[in-house]
Amino acid sequence: MSSNNIILTGFMGSGKSTIGRRLAKELDTYFLDTDVLIETFENMKISDIFEKFGEEKFREMEKRCFEWIKKDVKNTVISVGGGLPVFVPEIKEAGVVIYLKVPFEDILKRMNKEEIKKRPLFQDIEKARELFEKRDKIYEKLADYIIENKDLNKTIEKIKEIMCK
């Protein structure tokens, strides 16, 4: 992959941003988070974007954000929003895709109230669980590598091993 990007996918709360930030530091490279980018472009929080414009508009923003990444971003660790691979299935065109897989019950244990509040699609736990079941297969299908993210340090080491191959 000529862009040398590492793209982290996974469900909300699976640790993409935490791992991405740490990984980028260890690889001495850059880090991007598509949610943060969109919030910066729009000067609005994701929850406000969903409330004011709706999910469809947010997906358009994600697509635009991905187009920019594909064209202009290189040598960067990128954490993408949990829905991005579903709505932008050509994700592999922008880098090596690594799915950080975490069981839904573990995600629930990790999420605190603040984390849930930020995420419009996590307001109803049963609906989030259904979404997880559907998406897990999509993440797997679109990934170059799947890592069971149980331990932050081990996950980072595994990604480094993959990238050094």
- Binding stretches for ligand S3P (CB under 6 A): 12, 16, 35, 46, 81-83, 119-121
Q: In the bound complex, what is the minimum distance in angstroms from residue 58's beta carbon to ligand S3P?
A: 7
Interhelix angle 34-42/46-53, rounded to 10 degrees, is 60
- Judge contact between 145 and 99, C-beta under 8 A: yes
Q: Percentage helix, strand, coil, to 5, in the chain?
A: 60, 15, 25
Q: In the bound complex, what is the minimum distance in angstroms from residue 112's beta carbon to ligand S3P?
A: 13
Q: In the bound complex, what is the minimum distance in angstroms from residue 165's beta carbon to ligand S3P?
A: 27
H or E segment to which residue 37 belongs: helix 34-42
